[in-house]
Amino acid sequence: MDRNVEFVTQLSHLVALYAQDPVDHAAEKAALRAARAAAKHGAIDLSLIDGVFRAGHQEFETIPPEIAALQAVLTTAGVTALRVEHHAKQDEIKTVAVLLGSVFGGRLAADGVRAAVDGQQWSEVRTVFAAGVPAVDDVMAAEQTAVTTTISSATAADAAVADAADADEVAADAAAVDAAVAAPAVADEPADRAEGTAEQTPNEADAKAAVALASDDAAPAEASTAAAIPADEPTAEPAALESERGPLATELPAVISRILAPVYVQLFERLITSSEPGTLRRLLEPVLAAIEQTVREGSTTVSVRLLLAMFACEACATDDEMRRQFFVAVRRLTKPTLLRAFAMLYAEKPEDRDEVEQALARFAEDGAEAVADSVGSSPTSERRAAYAALLRRLPGTNDALLSMLDDEREIIVERAIGLMVELGHPDMERQLGEQLSHRGARVRQAAARGLGAATGSAFAADALVRAVQDASPEVRLAAAVGLQSRREARLAPSLVTRLDDEPELDVQLALIIALGRLAAPEGVQKLISMANPNERLLRRRNMPVLRLGAIEALGEARTPASMIALQKLLEDRDKEVREAAARLYTRARRLTTATAGIPVVSDS
Report how far residue 560's alpha carbon sits from residue 577's, in angstroms, rounded to the nearest whole number.
20
Distance CA 551, CA 34 (A): 57
- Phi and psi angles of residue 109, each rounded to the nearest 5 degrees, phi first: -70, 145
The residue ranges of the chain whose pLDDT is under 70 are 1, 131-245, 592-604
Q: What is the DSSP letter of 84?
A: E
Annotated domain spans of the chain: 3-159, 204-380, 501-604
* CA 111 to chain CA centroid, nearest Å: 35
Residue 1 has a pLDDT of 57
Encode 251-283: b = buried (16+ Cβ within 10 Å), e = exposed.
ebbebbbbbbbebbbbbbebbbebbbbbbbbbb
Starting at the edge strand found earlier in the chain, the sheet holding 58-60 runs 58-60, 52-55, 44-49, 79-84, 125-129
Q: Cβ(209)–Cβ(283) under 8 Å?
A: no
Per-residue confidence (pLDDT) for residue 499, from 0 to 100 = 95
Question: Which residues pair with residue 55 across a beta bridge?
Answer: 46, 58
Backbone angles phi, psi at 390, to 5 degrees: -65, -45
The predicted pLDDT at position 211 comes to 52
pLDDT in tens, 159-205: 443 343 333 333 334 444 444 444 444 344 444 443 334 444 444 55
Query: What Rg, from alpha-carbon coordinates, does the chain have?
Result: 32
Q: Give phi and psi for 592, each to the nearest 5.
A: -75, 130
Which residues in 172-206 are b (16+ Cβ under 10 Å) and which e?
A: bbbbbbeebbeeebebbbbeeeeeeebbbbeeeeb
